[in-house]
Amino acid sequence: MKRYCLIFLLLFTAACTTIEDERVDTILSMARSSSITMLEGKTVEQVRDLMGNPTFVRKEAPNESWVFKAPDCALFVFFDKDGISTFTQTRGSCDKRVARRILEERKNAS
């Protein structure tokens, strides 16, 4: 029984790491200056389909802003009162090498 629990725990941890890595890749790919404008003019549903759920949502009627966070990168998407994205912005380096290094350091620390 202990063996099965250990195997399950290892597989679960590997699956979480893979999901996190894919999410980081998506955020960093969309944060590039050549890609970020693809999010503008999209509905809330379209952005969610492309990016997944945001890390943080801020609602200030009638507008809403979403934040997608990756290591050393934050991607902001601003929606107007009609639920259409009107502006996108990034903060941080949004460099894949930096993000990979930070993720690796976090894994090693835990």
Beta bridge partners of 60: 63
Per residue in 42-95, pLDDT tens? Answer: 999 999 999 999 999 999 989 999 999 998 899 999 999 999 999 999 999 888
In the chain, the amino acid numbered 17 is T
Q: What is the CATH number of the domain that holds 89?
A: 3.30.1450
Query: Residue written as tokens 């994205």?
Result: 85
Pairwise CA distance, residues 96 & 15, whole Å? 20
Into how many domains does the chain fold?
1
Confidence of residue 31 (pLDDT cuts 50, 70, 90): confident
Residues of the domain holding 81: 2-109
21 neighbors 103 (Cβ within 8 angstroms): yes
| Tally: H helices and E strands in the chain | 3, 4
**pTM of the complete model:** 0.75
